[in-house]
């Protein structure tokens, strides 16, 4: 199994038999190396409804006949586009053919702004625990630091954590270091930084604050084997 980072919070995971993408913000993402027309995915997982995370979900899902897994209200909203959805709620887990997905809480907002400026509430934001091929990946989504990360770390063996470091809209580097410690993550990849001026960060400065050997400031398109 391998994972790859593609700018902002976009993560791809290949389990061997399934291709998964999380928060596919591609068009409008000046940091990504991906093109919607080239993407081949089986599953799309969304952490919350903000436009820079829902991104190009509808186009990708239709092109690939992909399943969209998302918090309940967001899944229902996306499903109006005649897309295959699987709604979930925080604390719930479901075993799919590629592995088990469980949504965790996240402290953030969740709404989608339509082209005409209408803002649609899309339920609670979430993080994602994905367990496949004996490995557990935690994508925190957009979140502040919260103490229940200790519980998540105590109850799960987290092989890889994707943590936002941008500050301003999510936790910043110092809080993300605390999150990595509480989660007891074996490896940590920073996400959600440098896309916009307000979230400018140096990922290497962040990973240098982590215990030696666990930080991976992946370049866009770079893969990590699990």
Instruction: Count how many domains the chain has.
Output: 1
The answer to whether residue 173 sits within a structural domain is yes
Average pLDDT over residues 178-200: 98
- Residue 223 resides in a domain: no
DSSP secondary structure letter of residue 97: S
Confirm whether 179 is domain-assigned. yes
Give the per-residue pLDDT at 143.
Answer: 98
C-alpha separations of 184 from 23, 124, 156, 157 in Å: 24, 25, 9, 8
**Per-residue confidence (pLDDT) for residue 6, from 0 to 100:** 98
For 166-191, b/e burial (b = at least 16 CB within 10 A) is bbebbbbbebbbebbbbbebbbbbbb
The CATH number of residue 18's host domain is: 3.60.15.10
Show the domain range for 49. Answer: 2-216
Across 33-59, average pLDDT = 98
What average pLDDT does the segment 131-144 reach? 98
On whether residue 180 sits in a domain, the answer given is yes
CB 58 within 8 A of CB 46: no
Q: Is residue 11 part of a domain?
A: yes
- Domain for residue 45, yes or no? yes
Under the banding of pLDDT at 50, 70 and 90, the label for residue 148 is very high
């Amino acid at each position: 199994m391998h994972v790859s980072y593609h700018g902002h919070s976009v993560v791809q995971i290949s389990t061997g038999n399934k291709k998964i993408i999380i928060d596919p913000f591609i068009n409008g993402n000046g940091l990504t190396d991906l093109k919607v027309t080239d993407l081949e995915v089986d599953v799309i997982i969304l952490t919350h409804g903000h436009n820079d995370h829902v991104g190009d979900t509808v186009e990708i899902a239709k092109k690939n006949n992909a399943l969209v897994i998302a918090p309940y209200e967001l899944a229902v909203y996306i499903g109006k586009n005649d897309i295959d959805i699987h709604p979930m709620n925080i604390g719930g887990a479901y075993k799919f053919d590629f592995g088990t997905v469980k949504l965790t809480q996240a402290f953030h907002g969740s709404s989608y702004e339509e082209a005409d400026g209408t803002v649609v509430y899309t339920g609670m934001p979430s993080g994602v625990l994905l367990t496949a091929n004996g490995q557990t990946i935690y994508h925190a989504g957009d979140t502040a630091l919260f103490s229940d990360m200790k519980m998540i770390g105590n109850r799960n063996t987290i092989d890889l954590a994707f943590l936002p470091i941008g500050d301003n809209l999510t936790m910043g580097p110092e809080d993300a270091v605390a999150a990595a410690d509480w989660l007891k993550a074996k490896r940590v990849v920073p996400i959600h930084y440098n896309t916009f001026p307000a979230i400018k960060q140096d990922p290497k400065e962040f990973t240098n604050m982590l215990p030696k050997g666990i930080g991976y400031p992946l370049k866009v398109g770079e893969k990590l084997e699990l």
